[in-house]
Amino acid sequence: MKKILIIEDDLLISSLVQFRLKKDGYETHLVKDGNEGIKAIDTLNPDLIITDVMMPFRSGIEIIHHAKKSQPHTPIIVLSSLGEEEQVVLEAFNLGVADFVPKPFNPNELAIRVKRALS
């Protein structure tokens, strides 16, 4: 079973993502800030990371940097509100993220993107 780490501080969004991915049979782990996210990357060894960009304590970019150093082959999907941090999204792609999903998003579309990132 594939392990997916969800790093998202918005409880409604993280619950929606977790619910949709569990429906597809993934093992999901949810953390609510950047510090927890970095710890979880190191202890969990996830098959996929889904992270927000703007979060408490550590930014999504810091999380991506850490993940790419410690687990360079783990795909990362970035969730973010379009427009508010366009430059940050470009930086995330330069760091090698697999995909970007703008908020608000369709949970079924996210599930398809997850499947594609894991294949």
Query: How many other C-beta atoms are found inside a 10 Å radius of the C-beta of residue 39?
Result: 11
The CATH class, in words, for 3-118 is alpha beta
The set of residues, in sequence order, having a beta carbon less than 8 Å from that of 107 and lying 6+ positions away, is 16, 17, 19, 20
pTM over 0.75: yes
pLDDT in tens, 77-101: 999 876 656 777 788 889 999 999 9
Contact in structure between 63 and 36 (CB atoms under 8 Å): no
* 24-33 pLDDT tens trace: 999 999 999 9
CB-neighbour burial class of residue 7 (10 A; exposed 0-12, middle 13-18, buried 19+) = buried
